[in-house]
Amino acid sequence: MEPVPKELEGIELFQRYLTTFELIKTALTSFETVEDLMSAAPEILKTLPEYGVKVFQSLRPDLVVAAFHPKNRGAVLKCAEAQIPFWQGIIDDIKADKPQLEFWFAQGPELFRALGFSPLCSEVTMVASAMYKEGCEDAIDKFRMKGFADHLCTANVAYPGYVMNGNWKPPHVMVKPGTPCPSSNLAYQAIQKWYGNEYVMYDSTYYLDKDGLMHQSDAIKRAIPKLEKISGQKLDEDLFRQQMEESNKTYALCGELLELRKNKPNPDPGMHRLLDLLMMVTLLGKPSCTEYFQFIVDEAKERLSNGGTPVIPEGKKEIRALHTWAMNAYTPELYHWLEETYGMTYITCGLSYFIDHQVDTSSVDSMIEGWAQRIMNFAMERQSMSFGDVWLDDMIYLAKDWDADCGIFGGNLSCKQGWAISKLLADRLEDELNIPSTRFEIELSDKRTCPPDEFKHRIGSFVETILID
Amino acid sequence: MPFVIGMDVGLVAIKGVILEDNHNIAQVIKETGVKPALAAKACYDELLTKANLSHGEIKGFGVTGWGAKRVSLGPDLSGPDLKIKSEVVCLAKGAIWALPTSRTVVDIGAQIVKVARFSENAKVKRFDQSDKCAAGAGRFLDIMSTALELDVARLGKIGASASKMVEISSQCSVFGESEIVSYLNTGEKIEDIANGINYSIAKRVSTIVMRLGLEEDIIVTGGVAQNPEVIRYLENMLGTEFKRYNANPQVIGAIGAALFAQEIL
């Protein structure tokens, strides 16, 4: 990996994200088309500092083209506008030595903010690295070079790679439930061993019922005093309530958005799903997150009233795809390509299936329970529940009520949870709903497992089987 | 009925056919090489020669396979538009052509194993394929036969005369090759090693087939279909009998591509 300049030691990755979102905002507010942007690029480059030029040149052209498409650009801009202050805040907090907490992605950041931390999702690289030609493969390899197996999930192991290289300052504490995710468990343990920071792991539950919820929320309650000791601050009930009330609004909009996707054609572009995930893991509990989802809900409604750019080209027959596990997080513009090429729209996927659970904010206990319930509802956690039947039932429900034409299982190669149910899921889709499905191996953040062209080829082959009558 | 050409541009071999009134009147199988467009053009010309036809008599041209998008007839020839279809739909179409009662096709190609279940009108209901590794596909047999200094076409016959089976434990082609060299050095007989290779590939294919589920009748296509020992092992493992048909199993995808071209004339 490239050495980190001294002035960016510990914050380089966050500075890169900040610079990128600033560039995206400037590009989308200054130019109508990507052609305009490219013709102005030589002049723009002259005005940028050396670091900005480097970031500009590392952006993936296909993603930029997709971001400029009228159906995508509004959401991309809204997301960029929200991300700029977020990353600036992370950099400022690190410089001010505010207690830094890194959390596994199924948890929301609200509780951690109320405990006085500057929280950051460790798997944020999974979504943010999609913006760059180089992705995060160098960071993944950096971690592997320490002797770790190459079948560990790339959504988790880029994080320690960046820490090792100095792009990311080790946090004061890392927090995760004990979910059966060996990759994150190993990565976090390694960081703790190498850098001596705290690691708080609390127990997970395997049953999605009242007892399971009590078990989960009790485990969280037992972890809170440890976190208070690390941050030196008691849980701020008012701040927690404020955050949870805000995230209630966000989740309500997620629910509304999912309902809107029942319409035909689906009025919500597939490329938004990666933006949704980025917004949830960085800004949930903040008004800017709610505003982003409000924007895309409004945009989808506008499309339904024939007022906006259609998601699939006029005259193309819609194919409604349910992505039954993960998205491909390294080239999200491929979902734009599927819409344009085949008229294939994106109902949802495991990583963008945000179940609207409204949290009772009347007391700290009720808020912790609600926060726990959302963890149990999130990807990875929900798949681990019971014997897999919870997730299978979810997917059948989504396929049926959203009238899916097909299921696509882009299985993260390293994810045991996902692969364990892939055939059960395919069988149920076929037996109960007569819906065809396919499956193939990807890695969430490593394009070397299934390069973009191979991805296109595999999904394209499958889509053609659906198109033949 | 007009003449149509179908071509399946695989990673290792290019397969071409000419259909006239649903009958395969000429077929060519060539190495794809590093320039699939040139190989496809050579295949096209050879097909015309074999069938004693001129370019102008070809009314449809369907292409499938890994290299389909790289195929063109070149600037000097204007002719039928290329119709590109995915391998899976062409395999299903070709399978129905080869055996109208077939409902599952197991294609063991050079690099990828594909399995598809389909309806009587060749509509694919479900398909699966091997992922990034070529273990379990034809290339595995090529590498292993090279290590044994055998012609790959003889691997089945030689394996059939084995007195025991040498276990090939690796699923990786590279490691599998090392295993074979070790067995040769420890004095294992070639036929016993060949037997182990045939078994190993059948085992790998069987997991993909079972993941998809079987629906009778089943046919096997692709180059490996010509290895009777792999087929025998696979039948035993799956507890079924594959149906035989009167066509070269390597050209079924190309036939499917030709049938699509014919449909849209």
ipTM: 0.71
Task: Spell out the domain ranges in chain B.
Answer: 3-90+251-263, 101-244
Q: Is A150 on the interface with B (CB under 8 A)?
A: no
Q: Is A430 on the interface with B (CB under 8 A)?
A: yes
Task: Read off the pLDDT of each residue in A248-275 and give the average, rounded to a whole number.
Answer: 97
pLDDT of residue A445: 87
Nearest residue of chain A to residue B126 (CA atoms) = A436
**pLDDT for B109 beyond 80:** yes
| Cα gap A74→A69, rounded to integer Å | 9
pLDDT of residue B78: 55
Nearest residue of chain B to residue A468 (CA atoms) = B123
pLDDT of residue B12: 87
Cα B200 off chain centre by: 18
Read off the amino acid at residue A162. Answer: Y
Alpha helices, DSSP H, located in A31-118: 34-47, 50-58, 61-68, 70-95, 110-114
Each residue's pLDDT tens digit, A143-160:
999 988 888 888 899 999
Nearest residue of chain A to residue B85 (CA atoms) = A464
For A437, the closest of B66, B116, B126 (CB atoms) is B126
- Interface contact flag, A441 B122, Cβ < 8 Å: no
Q: Is B117 on the interface with A (CB under 8 A)?
A: no
Neighbour order of strands in the sheet with B13-20: B23-31, B13-20, B3-9, B58-64, B82-84
**What values do phi and psi take at A357, rounded to 5?**
-110, 115
Residue range B101-244 forms a domain whose CATH class is: alpha beta
**What values do phi and psi take at B5, rounded to 5?**
-110, 140
Is B3-90+251-263 a domain of CATH 3.40.50.300? no
A365 C-beta neighbours (distance < 10 Å), count: 11
Nearest residue of chain A to residue B127 (CA atoms) = A438
Q: Encoding tokens for residue B17?
A: 């056919």
Q: Is A408 on the interface with B (CB under 8 A)?
A: no
pLDDT of residue B111: 82
Of A31-40, A362-371, B7-16, B134-143, give the lowest mean pLDDT range.
B134-143
B89 CB neighbours in chain A (<8 A) are 461, 464-465, 468
Give 3-state DSSP helix, strand, coil % of chain A, rounded to 5. 60, 10, 30
Q: Encoding tokens for residue B7?
A: 């071509």
**pLDDT for A169 beyond 90:** yes
| Cα gap A296→A398, rounded to integer Å | 20
| Cα gap B243→A256, rounded to integer Å | 52
Q: Strand, helix or coil at B136?
A: coil
Residue A53: inside a domain, yes or no? Answer: yes
**pLDDT for A468 beyond 80:** no
Residue A270: inside a domain, yes or no? Answer: no
**pLDDT for A56 beyond 80:** yes
Q: Is A464 on the interface with B (CB under 8 A)?
A: yes
pLDDT of residue A458: 83
**What values do phi and psi take at A447, rounded to 5?**
-70, -10
Q: Supply the range of the domain harboring residue A20.
A: 6-237
- Interface contact flag, B87 A437, Cβ < 8 Å: no
| pLDDT-derived band at B2, boundaries 50, 70, 90 | confident
Residue A125: inside a domain, yes or no? Answer: yes
| pLDDT-derived band at A201, boundaries 50, 70, 90 | very high
| Cα gap A301→A253, rounded to integer Å | 12
Q: How far off is chain B from A445, nearest CA to CA, in Å? A: 16
Each residue's pLDDT tens digit, B50-107:
999 998 899 899 999 988 888 776 555 556 667 788 899 999 999 999 999 999 999 9
Q: Is B92 on the interface with A (CB under 8 A)?
A: yes
Q: Strand, helix or coil at B230?
A: helix
From the list A329, A324, A302, the residue with the least C-alpha distance to A417 is A324
A440 CB neighbours in chain B (<8 A) are 129, 131
| pLDDT-derived band at A45, boundaries 50, 70, 90 | very high
Residues 186-245 of chain A whose Cβ lies under 8 A from any Cβ of chain B: none
B88 CB neighbours in chain A (<8 A) are 461-462, 464-465
pLDDT of residue B140: 83
Q: How far off is chain B from A454, nearest CA to CA, in Å? A: 10
Q: Is the dihedral of CA A176, A191, A276, A150 positive or negative?
A: negative
pLDDT of residue B134: 62
Q: How far off is chain A from B199, nearest CA to CA, in Å? A: 25
Average pLDDT, chain A: 93
Q: Is A386 on the interface with B (CB under 8 A)?
A: no
**Parallel, antiparallel or unpaired: strands A344-346 and A406-412:** unpaired
| pLDDT-derived band at B49, boundaries 50, 70, 90 | very high
Q: Is A462 on the interface with B (CB under 8 A)?
A: yes
Each residue's pLDDT tens digit, A410-462:
878 888 778 888 889 999 999 999 998 888 888 888 888 888 888 888 888 88
pLDDT of residue A441: 81
Q: Encoding tokens for residue A317?
A: 């027959």
| Cα gap B226→B177, rounded to integer Å | 22
Which CATH number do you get for residue A51?
3.40.50.11890
Residue A391: inside a domain, yes or no? Answer: no
| Cα gap A60→A333, rounded to integer Å | 10
A469 CB neighbours in chain B (<8 A) are 123
A423 CB neighbours in chain B (<8 A) are 211
Q: Are the beta carbons of B20 and B3 closer than 8 angstroms?
A: yes
Q: Are the beta carbons of A230 and A219 closer than 8 angstroms?
A: no
Nearest residue of chain A to residue B112 (CA atoms) = A458
Peptide bond into B217 cis (omega under 30): yes
Cα A441 off chain centre by: 19
Q: Are the beta carbons of A86 and A282 closer than 8 angstroms?
A: yes
Q: Are the beta carbons of B109 and B222 closer than 8 angstroms?
A: yes
pLDDT of residue A362: 98
pLDDT of residue A83: 98
For B211, the closest of A423, A430, A441 (CB atoms) is A423
pTM above 0.80, yes or no: yes
Q: Looking at the 3D structure of chain A, how many domains does it have?
A: 1
Of A223-237, A415-429, B190-204, give the lowest mean pLDDT range.
A415-429
